[in-house]
Structure 1
Amino acid sequence: MDMHLSGKVAVITGGSVGIGLAIANALAEEGVDIVMAARQGDRLKDEAAKVAKAHGIKTLPVVCDVATAAGCDTLIAATEAFGGADILINNAGSGSNETILEAPDEKWQHYWELHVMAAVRLARGIVPGMKRRGGGVVLHNASICATQPLWYEPIYNVTKSALMMFSKTLANEVVKDNIRVNTVNAGLILTPDWIKTAKQLTSDKGGDWEAYLQGVADEYAPIRRFGKPEELAAFFVFLCSDRASYSVGSTYHVDGGMLKTV
């Protein structure tokens, strides 16, 4: 299916690993030039070069921390090298582990900046350019935890829920400018972080990290497996395309049936 995305420009935060990197490759395969943002410069530059070579498109690695206003400003300014962007994917984020009664203000503020204010600041900086280009797409990678919280990461739950609401309200504001905004709530996706955690948790118990992950999938996902980053990335590509032209302000669960409600 031709997605009619060739020649467009996409900005992807958290673009050097996991879901963000999978989205970068999937969009590049469709002929999209990619601005890839991440904090770890060496890995980012290496992966950006690989994406460009594999798909014959242009990539621009931007080393920045979008959890800060300065980092967002760096990314916004760098995007102007492509004359702006047609697609913005707010993907940068990470899980948390705490209790509400013990987590300090500083931890709440960090995740608020990373999951919510990064999306706000990048919208303010990049959406005006989308208007000048005739329209665009903004996608937010939230989480099933935005609607079905996990007990051990309340800050992640709350900030991802806020991101989902921000996405909805932004969608209502910019749809008149031919800009579509949507949210994807993923379930269990097999990222390097999941593998790292599983190896740590099983290091003193025989090291069968794959069995641990299978147990997680069996417990939470009716499909009884983790999703691949490439599977989730394919859904993002569809939402970026005109094939999803009537999709505005929606939230989509891509979770192998993990969501327990309708």
Structure 2
Amino acid sequence: MSECEGLTALVTGGASGIGRATAELLARRGARVAVLDLDPSTVGEPLTAHRADVTDDASVRAAVAAALGELGGLDILVNNAGIGARGTVESNSDAEWHHVFDVNVLGMVRTARACLPALRASAHAAVVNTCSVAATAGLPQRALYSATKGAVHALTLAMAADHVHEGIRVNCVNPGTVDTPWIGRLLDAADDPAAERAALEARQPTGRLVTAAEVAAAIAYLAGPLSGATTGTALAVDGGMQGLRPRTGTR
């Protein structure tokens, strides 16, 4: 597949998980791709990599400038960098609330702000934000994380409205529970990892976790020219978790 041939892309949080799968898929589809990450040491060709801390505006601007200097412009921004949080509204300190919002929401703002001048010069400009089913479905023990992803969902719609007349499309993907290193760490920390994995799988109608490759495919679609009529959309990649209510038994 070569629908991204000749395009350039920047992926934040691109050294692992969904971001890495997305960067590699865009490259396979013909794009030249740069990755921004706190630890880009594992990233190799055909990707290029730059260290960036999305909570630091100067770090973001420097990394974006370096990446765009290599790429020669920008057509696609994938705002994927993010962190998780567990607990009810009582569980997390003010400092943690501020930090998770700083990464998950303001990190996207800083990166988009740095990239917009280059995106305005593109004939195929697209921004894809990694959101979550947590933005639209009430999940237990995810108050802080859900609040940030609800903000990402709203931010996506507002950005789409602001930039549609500049030819910049803005969409987001809403994954369910994805089998990533972060989920692996959560499972490892559980009292009964096997039981916790079974519970996560059971709450998705498909009966399994979403793969990073499946989310990457959705992001690549929204980022590419074949979705040129799509903006202001949240694409669920959640195994039916948000919309389906299947029967769990038989008569």
- TM-score, normalised by the number of residues in structure 2: 0.90
Partner of 2:219: 236
Q: Sequence identity of aligned pairs in percent? A: 29
Matches within 5 A, 1:60-75: 60-75=48-63
C-alpha distance in 1, partners of 2:86/2:58?
26
Residue 76 in structure 1 maps to residue 61 in structure 2: no
Partner of 2:12: 13
Residue 189 in structure 1 maps to residue 178 in structure 2: yes
Deviation of residue 88 (structure 1)?
0.4
CA contact (8 A) 2:214 2:237 kept: no
Which residue identity lines up with residue 216 of structure 1 in the other structure? L
Deviation of residue 260 (structure 1)?
4.2
Which residue identity lines up with residue 67 of structure 2 in the other structure? T
Partner of 2:207: 224
Partner of 1:215: 199
Instruction: Spell out, residue by residue over 1:123-155, the C-alpha distance to the aligned partner (whole angstroms, 9 max, x if none).
Output: 211011111233411000010001113231211
C-alpha distance in 2, partners of 1:135/1:25?
19
Which residue identity lines up with residue 71 of structure 1 in the other structure? S
> Which of 233, 247, 251 is 1:250 aligned to?
233
Q: Relative to structure 1, is the Cα distance of residues 248 and 195 closer, same or farther in structure 2, using a 3 angstrom cutoff?
A: same
Deviation of residue 160 (structure 1)?
0.8
CA contact (8 A) 1:90 1:141 kept: yes
Residue 141 in structure 1 maps to residue 137 in structure 2: no
CA-based RMSD: 1.8
Name the count of aligned residue pairs. Answer: 244
Which residue identity lines up with residue 155 of structure 2 in the other structure? F
Q: Relative to structure 1, is the Cα distance of residues 30 and 132 closer, same or farther in structure 2, using a 3 angstrom cutoff?
A: same
Partner of 2:146: 157
Instruction: Spell out, residue by residue over 1:3-58, the C-alpha distance to the aligned partner (whole angstroms, 9 max, x if none).
Output: 52112111111101111111011111111111111112xxx233x21xx2xxxx4x
C-alpha distance in 2, partners of 1:261/1:114?
31
Partner of 2:248: none
Which residue identity lines up with residue 140 of structure 1 in the other structure? N
CA contact (8 A) 1:13 1:38 kept: yes
Deviation of residue 122 (structure 1)?
1.5
Q: Relative to structure 1, is the Cα distance of residues 89 and 222 closer, same or farther in structure 2, using a 3 angstrom cutoff?
A: same
C-alpha distance in 1, partners of 2:15/2:141?
27
Structure 1: 5+ residue runs without aligned partners? none
Partner of 2:126, secondary structure, is strand
C-alpha distance in 2, partners of 1:169/1:261?
27
Residue 106 in structure 1 maps to residue 95 in structure 2: yes
Q: Relative to structure 1, is the Cα distance of residues 8 and 30 closer, same or farther in structure 2, using a 3 angstrom cutoff?
A: same
Which structure's residues are more often helix, by fraction?
Answer: 1
CA contact (8 A) 1:3 1:241 kept: no
CA contact (8 A) 1:139 1:183 kept: yes
Partner of 1:79, secondary structure, is helix
- TM-score, normalised by the number of residues in structure 1: 0.87
Matches within 5 A, 1:18-29: 18-29=17-28
Partner of 2:187: 198
C-alpha distance in 2, partners of 1:37/1:76?
8
CA contact (8 A) 2:2 2:29 kept: yes
C-alpha distance in 2, partners of 1:60/1:25?
11
Deviation of residue 161 (structure 1)?
0.5
